[in-house]
């Protein structure tokens, strides 16, 4: 069904693998659209309770395929509005946790892609390059939005202005990634992490995601009101009833994601 990505659901986790390893999984128009479609597919599928995004081969994603844009004359407005912006917005619209399993280099819009995920796990061989400036461009695909919110404005400006490579360990120190794992066991560790999230109360996690991101844009009063709305929704789920029952019966909860 997809040509530039692989999509597989296993034990509640939809694994999306960017699959152009010979080009460091660089974006083509088709890949932008297939990622958007795969996220929509995962959102609709009740069996999917966590999404894991990773790259085939040595890289996570090297940004736009520069072979497709050589010679100039790119219609950047159309390029971003039709391809990249809808893809990035779909990460927010997807009310399930999305993990980036950054197996290798994440550069340019590939770095923005990782930043758009809710949690980032890195192989010790991963690295991050805000490569836009190296080709005379500005961070796009949410790079100017996510990076300062995750690492602070001072570091974000430095990374964007210099285009210097950040190692996985440096990224961990900055809070840009949540965990670093040895390269040999990375895919298993990332899948195990995703499986843990996939047995938690998925509706509550979706509401946590929406409320916390909205909270970044709202004042305290608005956030309190939105939390109240979200709690009313979470409080009416089967998983909430199961969580309370399991606590009182002193047993492990069996959440169903509804």
Separation CA 199–CA 50 (nearest Å) = 9
Least distance from C-beta 33 to ligand T3D, angstroms? 15
143 near ligand T3D (CB under 6 A): no
Residue ranges in 113-132 that form contacts with ligand T3D under rule CB under 6 A: 129, 131-132
**Nearer to ligand T3D among residue 24 and residue 91 (C-beta):** 24
* CB neighbour list of residue 234: distance below 8 Å, 6 or more residues apart: 201, 203, 204, 207, 240
Least distance from C-beta 111 to ligand T3D, angstroms? 8
Site string for ligand T3D, 185-204 (x = CB under 6 A): --------------------
Answer whether 28's CB lies under 8 Å from 4's CB. yes
Kind and range of the H or E run holding 147: helix 143-151
The number of residues that bind ligand T3D (CB under 6 A) is: 23
* CB neighbour list of residue 106: distance below 8 Å, 6 or more residues apart: 59, 60, 61, 100, 113, 114, 126, 127, 128, 129
**Nearer to ligand T3D among residue 132 and residue 186 (C-beta):** 132
Kind and range of the H or E run holding 171: helix 168-174
Phi, psi dihedral angles at 97 (to 5 degrees): -70, 135
139 near ligand T3D (CB under 6 A): no
51 near ligand T3D (CB under 6 A): no
**Nearer to ligand T3D among residue 9 and residue 137 (C-beta):** 137
227 near ligand T3D (CB under 6 A): no
């Amino acid at each position: 069904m997809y040509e530039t990505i692989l999509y597989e659901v296993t034990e509640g986790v939809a694994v999306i693998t960017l699959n152009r390893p010979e080009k460091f999984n660089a974006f083509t128009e088709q890949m932008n659209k297939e990622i958007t479609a795969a996220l929509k597919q995962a959102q609709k599928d009740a069996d999917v309770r966590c999404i894991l995004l990773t790259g085939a081969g040595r890289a996570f994603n090297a940004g736009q395929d520069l072979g497709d844009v050589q010679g100039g004359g790119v219609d950047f407005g159309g390029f971003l509005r039709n391809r990249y912006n809808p893809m990035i917005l779909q990460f927010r619209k997807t009310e399930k946790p999305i993990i980036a399993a950054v197996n290798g280099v994440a550069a340019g819009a590939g770095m923005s892609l990782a930043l758009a995920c809710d949690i980032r796990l890195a192989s010790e061989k991963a690295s991050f390059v805000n490569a836009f400036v190296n080709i005379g461009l500005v961070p796009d695909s949410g790079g100017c939005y996510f990076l300062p919110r995750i690492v602070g404005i001072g570091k974000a400006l430095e990374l964007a202005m210099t285009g210097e490579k950040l190692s996985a360990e440096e990224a961990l120190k900055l809070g840009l990634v949540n965990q670093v794992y040895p390269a040999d066991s990375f895919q298993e560790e990332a899948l195990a992490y995703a499986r843990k999230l996939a047995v938690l109360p998925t509706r509550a996690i979706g509401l946590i995601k929406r409320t916390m991101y909205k909270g970044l844009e709202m004042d305290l009063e608005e956030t309190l009101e939105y939390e109240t709305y979200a709690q009313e929704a979470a409080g009416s789920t089967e998983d909430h009833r199961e969580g309370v029952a399991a606590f009182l019966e002193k047993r492990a909860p069996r959440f169903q994601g509804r």
